């Protein structure tokens, strides 16, 4: 199957700082990328959908000014958590779809801890 990478896999930051997470599709062109967050032992919650070259569409309740998403190319999307707070601590997972398939291919996730 297609491969999606995320970087970093784990990040610890201080409250008030910003953190950028990268999501790359390594062997396919991801026309659409999704960002999810997952709390411990919980399911995934879709945060936003981004199509290459256009603004992300955020789900209800997700602050677009806090979670900045950029999908600059068909292989790269970034999520920046601005002015992070401890409640932003979570597991963030990206996925991409592309070509003729509806299948989402997921990255390995990034564990964010805000102190």
Minimum Å gap between C-beta 100 and another protein is 12
Which one of 95, 96, 98, 112 is in contact with another protein (CB under 8 A)? 95
d(CA 39, CA 53) in angstroms, rounded, equals: 29
- Among 14-22, 34-42, 66-74, 75-83, which window interacts with another protein (CB under 8 A)? 34-42
CB of 1 to another protein, least distance (A): 6
Handedness of CA 59, 73, 16, 87 (dihedral sign): positive
Which ranges constitute the DSSP H helices of 19-79? none
Contact between 31 and another protein (CB under 8 A)?
Answer: no
- The answer to whether residues 6 and 108 touch, using CB atoms and an 8 Å cutoff, is yes
Interacting residue with another protein among 18, 26, 108, 115 (CB under 8 A):
108
32 contact partners, CB below 8 Å, separation of at least 6:
49, 50, 51, 52, 96, 97, 98
**The only residue of 19, 109, 112, 114 in contact with another protein, by rule CB under 8 A:** 109
> Chain-centre distance of CA 14, in angstroms?
20
* Phi, psi angles (nearest 5°) of residue 88: -85, -10
Q: Which of residues 36-65 bind another protein (CB under 8 A)?
A: 36, 41-46, 49, 59
| Sites of contact with another protein (CB under 8 A) | 1, 4, 6, 34, 36, 41-46, 49, 59, 91, 93, 95, 102-109, 111
């Amino acid at each position: 199957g297609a491969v999606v990478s995320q970087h970093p896999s784990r990040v610890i930051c201080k409250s008030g700082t910003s953190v950028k997470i990268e999501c790359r599709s390594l062997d396919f062109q991801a026309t659409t990328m999704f960002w999810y967050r997952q709390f411990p032992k919980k399911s995934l919650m879709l945060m936003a959908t981004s199509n290459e070259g256009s603004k992300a569409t955020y789900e209800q309740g997700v602050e677009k000014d806090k979670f900045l998403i950029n999908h600059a190319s068909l292989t790269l999307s970034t999520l920046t958590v601005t002015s992070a707070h401890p409640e932003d601590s979570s597991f963030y997972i990206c996925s991409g779809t592309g070509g003729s398939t509806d299948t989402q291919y997921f990255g390995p996730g990034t564990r964010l801890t805000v102190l």
